[in-house]
């Protein structure tokens, strides 16, 4: 059927259509440049504000003040060990909490009877402020690192369990029906249908969970820090002694840990799910 030349729709190929490799390379360079430029501009503003006395340098030190304080903390105060203590607690709690959360998410998402049996008690525990569990955990596990690790694991568990179960239950029934037609067993159904369908959502959940784990470990160390070590203890002690430079140095390290661990989870996602294009965005 011939189209009227006056009413014909002409589609002009975009830059992405004409040369997708070049377009993606330039887009990636732009994204990296913005990711670097925005923090740099923010740091410059903070430095200028302190130098020009837009605010009190006692409470809001300049970037160079914080860097000098960090150097002193690493050299004179053994700050590297405090960071290591926090990272060890963080990773242990995060790994255990994530594994148990994934297990419960899949089991409850796939089994209706188990879900109906366990969901009420889990939902009741979900609403309990996790920091309130610190006292009974100290009584049960002693006054060292184990209560902190368990509390982090409990917090991470709930942040992983709920989205994982929702992702499992949202898998289209047509996928499972098609697999059933081919006579797959339960393991094959999990391996080839349920797991690939839920992995993108699971990795988003794991990125959120690592941030929650960092918030939890630092918050707990504000309240309880065995041997007076840990990043949270350093920040809280600086607050109590009004040494703002130390506090801001600790906050800077906490943010670096958050970015580093989140980037690691994102890298694992890209390696394990090369077909997942959620981070590419639209081609505008």
Domain ranges across the chain? 12-55, 63-272
Residue 215: how many CA atoms within 13 Å on its side-chain side?
A: 11
* DSSP helix/strand/coil, 60: coil
Q: What is the pLDDT of residues 24-47, one digit of tens each?
A: 788 888 888 888 888 889 888 888
CB atoms < 10 A from the CB of 20, how many? 12
Which range, of 38-42, 200-204, 214-218, 271-275, averages the lowest pLDDT?
271-275
pLDDT at 282 over 60: no
CATH number of the domain located at residue range(s) 63-272 in this protein: 1.10.3720.10
Across the range 115-123, mean pLDDT stands at 89
Q: List, in sequence order, the alpha helices (H) in 111-194.
A: 112-126, 134-141, 145-169, 173-181, 186-189
pTM of the model: 0.82
Q: How far apart are CA 257 and CA 145, in angstroms?
A: 19
Across the range 73-98, mean pLDDT stands at 91
What pLDDT, on the 0 to 100 scale, is given for residue 134? 87
Q: How far apart are CA 266 and CA 60, in angstroms?
A: 32
Which range, of 65-69, 184-188, 249-253, averages the lowest pLDDT?
184-188
State the sign of the Cα–Cα–Cα–Cα dihedral 63, 69, 75, 78.
negative
- Identify the CA nearest to 59 among candidates 186, 228, 245: 245
């Amino acid at each position: 059927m011939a189209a009227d030349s006056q009413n014909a729709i002409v589609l002009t190929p975009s830059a992405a259509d004409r040369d997708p490799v070049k377009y993606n390379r330039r887009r990636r360079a732009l994204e990296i440049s913005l990711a670097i430029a925005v923090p740099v501009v923010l740091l410059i503003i903070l430095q200028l504000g302190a130098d020009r006395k837009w605010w009190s340098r006692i409470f809001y030190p300049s970037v160079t003040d914080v860097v000098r304080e960090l150097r002193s903390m690493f050299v004179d105060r053994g700050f590297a060990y405090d960071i290591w203590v926090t990272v060890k607690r963080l990773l242990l709690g995060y790994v255990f909490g994530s594994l148990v959360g994934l297990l419960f998410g899949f089991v409850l998402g796939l089994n209706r009877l188990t879900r109906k049996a366990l969901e009420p008690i889990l939902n009741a525990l979900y609403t309990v402020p996790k920091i309130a569990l610190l006292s009974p955990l100290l009584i049960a596990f002693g006054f060292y690192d184990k209560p902190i690790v368990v509390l982090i694991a409990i917090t991470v568990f709930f942040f992983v369990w709920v989205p994982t179960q929702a992702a499992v239950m949202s898998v289209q029934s047509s996928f499972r029906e098609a697999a059933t037609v081919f006579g797959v067993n339960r393991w094959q159904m999990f391996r080839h249908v349920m797991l690939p369908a839920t992995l993108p959502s699971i990795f988003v959940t794991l990125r959120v969970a690592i941030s929650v784990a960092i918030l939890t470990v630092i918050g707990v160390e504000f309240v309880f820090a065995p041997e007076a070590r840990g990043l949270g203890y350093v920040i809280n002690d600086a607050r109590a002694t009004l040494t703002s430079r130390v506090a801001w140095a600790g906050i800077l390290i906490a943010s670096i840990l958050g970015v580093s661990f989140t980037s690691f989870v994102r890298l694992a996602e890209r390696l394990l799910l090369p077909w997942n294009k959620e981070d590419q965005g639209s081609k505008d």
